[in-house]
Structure formats: C-alpha cells, structure tokens
Structure 1
C-alpha cells in the first residue's frame, strides 16, 4: 500500500514484536511492561493508564522514536501518540512533565547536522508522508503546550541540572517554520501537504516569536494565493485556517507592511463578500478591524466598497456576538475614514488601485481647481500611473476615465500641455483613438484636442 495514504487506524492494526527490541536493548524491561499494558487496549483503559502514569508512557514513546529506525515501528508509535493527543490535546502537557526535565522530547523529531550549524528535522524531512504529517501535528501540539513563565517561555532542554545540551525551543520553532513554508511551496503530498501546513500554522502563529520567524522566512506571500472564495467543505476549512493565519499575522507590524503591498486586502474583501460560513466571515472581519487604522488600509477598504459590504453583513442573521460587535466597530471606523479622506485622497486611492470609474469628483470643476497642484507630488506620480493604466488596463471604463482625467489636467494646470508632452503621453492616447469602445475613443479624442489645440479651444469641442 502507498504509505502516503496510510491512516492511523490501519497502522494501529499492526502487531509490533516489542520483545525483539528488548533483546537488542533498544527497549528496557520496564518499557516493555508499560507497552504490554497499553498496546491493543480499549480507549478507556489507555486513558486511565495515561491519567495514572502519563509521563512514563511519554518517555517510552520518545525513546522508541529516538532509538528505533524501523519505519513500521516509527509509524506505529507516531499513530499511538496521535491517537492519544487527538482524544485529549491537553495530554501534550505530559511531554513537559517535571519528571522528564532531562529527557529531550523534541530530539526524536530532530537530528543536528554539524555542517553550517543547521538543524534538520529527521522525521519531518526524511520520513514518508505519514511520518511527516504525524510528526508535524504532534510536534506543533507539544510546542504549543510547553509551560510559560512571567519572564517568557520555558524551553525544553534548559533545565539547570541538565548536563547534556538538549534541543532548544528556538531550534524547534525555526525548523518547524522552515518545513511548513517548504510544504506551502512544494507539498510532499499533493492534496494534504498544504492543508496540513496551514492547520499547524494556525496553531503556531498564536505565538509572537513564530509570527516573526514566519515573516522573516518570507512566508506571508505563500498565504495570499490561498485567500479566495470556495465552495467545498474541505476548501472552506482551508480558507478559514488561512484567514485565521492572516488574522494572527495582523498583530505583527512587519507582516502588516507586507500585507499592505500585496493583494491580500482585495482578496479578503472578495471572500467576505461571497462567503456564507460564519466562522470565515468572523475571522476576516476581525482582520479588517485590526488593519483599519494601519497605513492606507482604511482608505483602501473604502475604495474597495467595504462600507457597503458591512451594511449587507449587518442585515444578516449571525449568532456570533463577537462578529456583530466587530461589524459595528468596523462600520464606525470606516465612517471615520470616509470623513478624514479629502477628495484628493479618495481620488489618489482610486488611481493607485487602478479602479477608475465615473465618480463625481472626475467631472467636478471645483475638484480640479482646488487640487490641481496636488498632481505635482512625487514627480507627478498620479499622472504616471494614469499613463500606466492606459498602457495596461483592459477595462474600457478605466481607459476612458484615464483619458478624461489627463485632459482635465491639461486644461487646469498652467503648464499642463508641456508636462503631459514631457511624459510622452501623446503616443499612448493616440493608440486609444482606435479603441472598440465609443466611450474610450471619445475621451481619447478630447485629450488629443487639448494637447494639440490648447485648453480654451478644446473646451468647445467637449461633448
């Protein structure tokens, strides 16, 4: 059978010859006794054994993973641990019991390479998919369950009476993040690699240190393509956990800076506009609330039509009180942003995002008269973006508005014709004279007339 498709239930049907390992001293006599009591027992019996002597069983499992390399046995023990933690995730705390202070519970998943001081995960990197998937899940749970102190985190292997240098939590977190990013780039399993990585990330990114490591590893960009409207139950769960990761990253300033330059916000807006799953809507709205006051996010949200979407969401029957509260807060914040935005700020956001439409300001003479000098900012950045839209946009409305705005600049700026000619706009506008859209050709003609004939005469030709 293909090991990539193994299930925990199938693996646990195996009969492992534990006695063989005692003859080679890979398992102690005490370990064998514990295994005989535990193996192939009912879940209720196993639960009682873990309640009575959990740390001892953890020690046996860890020692087997550390000392035994036979694939079938490694898979079996990982399945035992997975079953134990699935039944009760709080059992991950057993790996941090004081009686195991000198036991490196992370080491079975790791092997230290001496070259370049790099840490490579033995089971994560070297094992088959079953081993990789279970190791990632188990390791993430163990890491998340480690004890915290007021001064920070108590890292495994840092006991004051420990003589051996054990695996540090920094090693584990760094290696885990690297493996997860690798799965997002090139999954080990075609259908389960990415969902497994996202599921573990959603748990690990609750910790600030993991957020920083994930950002430094350039992992944020790997999440963006996964933010898109979905329909199947499996893809809904993946979307939810991806959005949960983005929400957790919205508490990290470097991550926010990356999100600001990516397509994350428009994608999140598309998701919240089309999603009917309450948990998805909730986590996206909470993300918006976090980002609203950061940089230009507020202005972008207004431009992307989020105020109207929030109104629509508020009219729906949601059971989650946190979601309702977040929608109210988001609505208030968006209203404040609309008030703060000057007409030129709104115009600038519209142009920079490439979402040109016939909003009132374009044909308002007062807008052009009052804001014409603002077009000089950043070496006529807005004009340059308008020309880029003419070159690259396939939207006839955007092309028509760009031509019209360029003609308005020529008409209203004292040196408009000279500046636009210096930017080599004529050739670009001329190409649009033959556009299939009447709206585009009409406004391209107006722009050319103002370039050639001057503002006063061209104004008489405007339709």
Structure 2
C-alpha cells in the first residue's frame, strides 16, 4: 500500500509539511517544550530490573539504546529490530510511573522521527507474535497525564501513516474518536498537537471516511466557529482541505455549512496562511465534485456568502504566495460565471440551505407566483428546511423570513395548506404568535391568516354544496362564525 497522496497539489504541500512541519512545527508548543524537558532527564533502569519490573534482556537493550548516539543507534536497531519493539512495548505495558513513561515515549518518538521506516519494526514484531501493534499504545490514551496521552497520540499517527499496513477499523475508530473528543475539550493546551495528528491521518483516503463516520466534520466546524487562534484555525481548515480531495466528500461537505463558516473566517482573517487554505478549500469544492450540479451549488453558495466581494479585495493585494493569486483568479472566474447563469430559484434554494435568510429580492411576490410549486421538489426539501428553522432557529430575522415564505407558498400553491399541515409547519407558525420579537409575531400572524383564508374558502365551498339553495353569503357567514 502506498500512502502518498495522488493529487499533485496535495502531494507537494504534504511533502513540504512532512519535512518536519507537521511533526516539529511550532517548536514552542506545549508538547515540544515538555518533550525537551523530558529528554534532559535520566532513568535509573537498574532499579527497575532489580525490582523485577523489567527483564534482563529488556534492561540490556534499553541501556544500550539510551546511551548511544544516532549512528550507533542505527547499528543497534539493525541487529536487534524485534528486540527493540519487544522492549519498548514491554516497558510501556509494565511501567506505571508517569515520569518514566514520558521518557520512554519521547525515546520512541525520537527514534521513528529520525527514520520513519522504523515504524515497521512494531508491525514486524506484532506479526511475529500475532499481537496487535495498537493495543499497548491505545491503552495509554486513557491515562490521566496529558503529556503521555498526546505523545502517544503523536506516535500512533506516525505508525498509522508511515507504515505499509493501515490501522484496523475498530482501532482506527477508537483513535479518531479520541482525537475528535480532544478537539472539544475546553481550553485544551495540546489542541495544536491533536490537530497535527489529524493533519497526518487525513492524508489517507480510508482514514478520511472513518473520520467522517465519527462525526468528525461537524466537530471541526464546531471548533472553528468558537474562539481559536489563527494557528489552530489554519490546522483545522487544513484538515477540511485534505478531506475535500476525495470527490465524494467534496460533494457532501457543504451540507455541514462549510462554505458559510469559512466565509466568516475569510472576512475576518488577517493571516495569509489562513486566507490561502480557505481559498484552497473553496477551489476543491468546485474542482473535485464529479457532479457538475453540486459544483454549481457550491459556486452559488459562495456568491451568497459574499465571497466575490472578498476576492475583489484580494485582487488588489500582492501576495508572495503564487497559489493565492492563482486561486483568487480561478474562484473569481467561476463565481462570476455562476452569477450570470443564476436563476432566482437557484438563488433562493441556496439562501434557504445556507440558514441565513434575509429580505432579499427572491422573497417578493413575483418569485412566488412563478416558483411556489417548485418547493415540492425533492420531497419538499426546501419546505422541510424552512419548517426546521421555525422549530430550531433563535434568530428573529430567520424566523420572520421563514414564516413569510411559508405563508407565500400557501398563498400561491393550491394544496399548500395541506402540505404545510402534513409537514408540521402550521403548529410551529402558530406558536410564533407568542414570540418575544414583534417582527416575528407580525410575520407569523400574516402566515396564519394565509393558512386560515384557505380554510375559510374550503369550508365555504363545502357549506354551499351541502345547503344547495341557501341564501347568498350564508356559507361565508357560517364559515367566519
């Protein structure tokens, strides 16, 4: 198996990152600072042997390994490959003292960082003993010491990405879930290290789908919508960018509101690296989907999020990075082209799916006369979204516009009232009559009136049919009563 990315642009960037930018980036990070301190310590291996916590052969190997320079270490490993894995796994499994475990993990990390092919040592040993290569490391993720868990995570990512054998499904699920949960930890001082592990893992296609299956995309975006520094922003958006190299994931991505969230960051960011990676994500969302309609919808969503305005600002700047200029030009051309082909219904559908409803021109009556029936398409997809906003949104503007749109749909589509009732929209609109915001109450009242007018007309017709020669107007009067 080859884990190298096949896309030239991804391969180029990942190659540059592999040259210690993923693994040694931000030497001042908390994990790196602590690792430097741990390296300076010494361990009394003899005391562990005398207390029979480690065997004689493990003692002999670790003493030799711990006291040699890089050249002699290479010779030692060539002569004792399987003993190396055996000793380290034994030490990690039998020693409980945090300080010593920290030191062992730094030794392992330094060893495989020095030569990444050494990750195969652990796989060779696991194959010979018919044991899992992952078990001893995954167990350490449950330790309370944050340096131990994050250094272990770093080692797992390297073994998973640099070895020929991929991580097995259950172990992979456990590890990716751990990474995802670490992203959600409030004020996690090791979040850069967690993100760096993800940057490595998501270069491999099989790992991408596994990450998506544990709700990884939603977690990335949830963290990005919070307050994180630009370095973490860059790393998490990098993870999204790597995911979009898979065409299927690129097609699904905007269902998580990726375009909107990144547009907000793009408009606020002052860091060139963050701008560059967002533009790269946008480019992939247009280039990678195999379904041309999805690519078109992504373009429309970017237009809706005022990305063209940002691109016009970027065009006036000079960037040292040629990729930025190229991506700005590419995106500008694609978005301008999509604007020319944009129908009012396309614009409306994109606005509804974005969740950012506003009093744009597509909410005028002319639009509804021409397009009301189109809200029945794809099993009432847009109507269901509008009704969901009535139930979940806290934004008065969204509630006001959604109420108005539902009223206009009922007004212009003959069976609209029945559809809205079946989808549960009528009750939600009526609940908004008691909303705190006067604009929401007003639009909800108008929508209810439109729903009730249809009721009166239907009831009036039924009464007229039943009463036959009843007096003119009696049905209407009865209906109002």
TM, length-normalised to structure 1: 0.70
Residue number in structure 2 paired with 1:358: 359
Pairing 1:264-275 to 2, within 5 Å after superposition: 264-275=258-269
Q: 1:290 aligns with which of 276, 284, 288?
A: 284
Give me the whole-angstrom Cα distance separating, in 1, the residues matched to 2:252 and 2:317: 32
Give me the whole-angstrom Cα distance separating, in 1, the residues matched to 2:419 and 2:60: 87
Pairing 1:29-40 to 2, within 5 Å after superposition: 31=61, 34-35=64-65, 37-38=67-68
- 8 Å CA contact 2:434–2:441 kept in 1: the answer is yes
Change (3 A) 1:303 1:34: same
Residue number in structure 2 paired with 1:214: 211
Change (3 A) 1:416 1:144: closer
Give me the whole-angstrom Cα distance separating, in 2, the residues matched to 1:287 and 1:174: 30
Residue number in structure 2 paired with 1:237: 231
- 8 Å CA contact 1:108–1:122 kept in 2: the answer is no
**Per-residue CA distance 1:195-253 (angstroms, 9 max, x = gap):** 3322101012111121122223333332221123646xxx3222211111111111235
Give me the whole-angstrom Cα distance separating, in 2, the residues matched to 1:438 and 1:128: 53
Residue number in structure 2 paired with 1:10: 37
Q: Unpaired segments of 5 or more residues in structure 1?
A: 39-45, 114-118, 147-153, 156-168, 456-463
Residue number in structure 1 paired with 2:475: none
Q: How many positions carry a matched residue from both structures?
A: 410
Residue number in structure 1 paired with 2:95: 70
Give me the whole-angstrom Cα distance separating, in 1, the residues matched to 2:128 and 2:232: 28
Give me the whole-angstrom Cα distance separating, in 2, the residues matched to 1:220 and 1:337: 27
- 8 Å CA contact 1:66–1:108 kept in 2: the answer is no
1:204 aligns with 2:201: yes
- 8 Å CA contact 1:211–1:249 kept in 2: the answer is yes
Give me the whole-angstrom Cα distance separating, in 2, the residues matched to 1:326 and 1:432: 48
Give me the whole-angstrom Cα distance separating, in 1, the residues matched to 2:282 and 2:96: 46
Give me the whole-angstrom Cα distance separating, in 2, the residues matched to 1:400 and 1:190: 36
Once the 2 structures are TM-superposed, how far is the Cα of residue 48 of structure 1 from its aligned partner? 4.4
Secondary structure of the corresponding residue to residue 64 of structure 2: helix
- 8 Å CA contact 1:111–1:121 kept in 2: the answer is no
Change (3 A) 1:350 1:263: closer
Once the 2 structures are TM-superposed, how far is the Cα of residue 275 of structure 1 from its aligned partner? 1.1
The higher relative CO (CA closer than 8 Å, separation ≥ 6) is in: 2
Pairing 1:81-160 to 2, within 5 Å after superposition: 81-83=108-110, 89=113, 91-96=115-120, 102-104=124-126, 121-126=138-143, 128-146=145-163, 154-155=164-165
1:27 aligns with 2:28: no
Deviates more, 1:216-225 or 1:389-398: 389-398
1:252 aligns with 2:246: yes
Aligned Cα root-mean-square deviation (Å): 4.5
Residue number in structure 2 paired with 1:319: 320
Residue number in structure 2 paired with 1:461: none
Pairing 1:347-386 to 2, within 5 Å after superposition: 347-363=348-364, 365=366, 367-378=367-378, 382=382, 386=386
- 8 Å CA contact 2:137–2:152 kept in 1: the answer is no
Change (3 A) 1:408 1:94: closer
Change (3 A) 1:18 1:309: same
Deviates more, 1:396-405 or 1:243-252: 396-405
Residue number in structure 2 paired with 1:158: none
Secondary structure of the corresponding residue to residue 357 of structure 1: coil
1:185 aligns with 2:186: no
Give me the whole-angstrom Cα distance separating, in 1, the residues matched to 2:274 and 2:203: 18
Residue number in structure 2 paired with 1:223: 220
Give me the whole-angstrom Cα distance separating, in 1, the residues matched to 2:216 and 2:178: 9
**Per-residue CA distance 1:275-328 (angstroms, 9 max, x = gap):** 111111111111111113642333322222222222223333322111211121
- 8 Å CA contact 1:372–1:412 kept in 2: the answer is yes
Give me the whole-angstrom Cα distance separating, in 1, the residues matched to 2:223 and 2:181: 12
Once the 2 structures are TM-superposed, how far is the Cα of residue 391 of structure 1 from its aligned partner? 6.1
Give me the whole-angstrom Cα distance separating, in 2, the residues matched to 1:105 and 1:34: 25
Secondary structure of the corresponding residue to residue 115 of structure 2: helix
Secondary structure of the corresponding residue to residue 167 of structure 2: helix
Give me the whole-angstrom Cα distance separating, in 1, the residues matched to 2:426 and 2:59: 85
- 8 Å CA contact 1:199–1:241 kept in 2: the answer is yes
Q: 2:274 aligns with which of 272, 280, 299?
A: 280
Change (3 A) 1:451 1:348: farther
- 8 Å CA contact 1:65–1:108 kept in 2: the answer is no
- 8 Å CA contact 2:49–2:59 kept in 1: the answer is yes
- 8 Å CA contact 2:150–2:193 kept in 1: the answer is yes
Once the 2 structures are TM-superposed, how far is the Cα of residue 382 of structure 1 from its aligned partner? 4.7
Give me the whole-angstrom Cα distance separating, in 2, the residues matched to 1:189 and 1:361: 41
